[in-house]
Amino acid sequence: MKQHYIDEKTGISYTLQGNYYLPDLAFPTEKETKPIGIWGQRCKRYLKEHKRVTYANLLTSGELNSCLADIDEQAEERFKVLIEQMKQAHGITEQLKAENIWEWVRRLNNIQACAMEIVNKEIVFA
């Protein structure tokens, strides 16, 4: 009995497993794997929970990692820009840091929380 055969119409190869021929299928490999940071991880979780078809399409096409790495990069850059713009708009300076460290920390934490919400809405969960 043959252990392997290839269907001429589809080009799919099959392997005998017990009494059944099962297709030899594998996910495509990505060209390069980039590290995924916090923003990419949030996006991945969002896609898994709320956009299952998009997640499955990216996963099976081998583009998930590169897509998440790009989103992570864009989100991190936008986050940094927003922080700097908000610091200037609200007058958060090194002088304030020297005079009243706790006020500086309070304002900076508030700005970071606002910037995080903006980035999540604009990039991560879009």
* 31: nearest Cα among 72, 68, 74, 65: 65
**Could you report the per-residue pLDDT of 97-111, keeping only the tens digit for each?**
999 999 999 999 999
Reduce the secondary structure of 45-77 to three states and give it as a string: HHHHHHCHHHHHHHHHHCCHHHHHHHHHHHHHH
pLDDT on residue 28: 67
pLDDT on residue 105: 96
**Could you report the per-residue pLDDT of 57-113, keeping only the tens digit for each?**
998 888 999 999 999 999 999 999 999 999 999 999 999 999 999 999 999 999 999
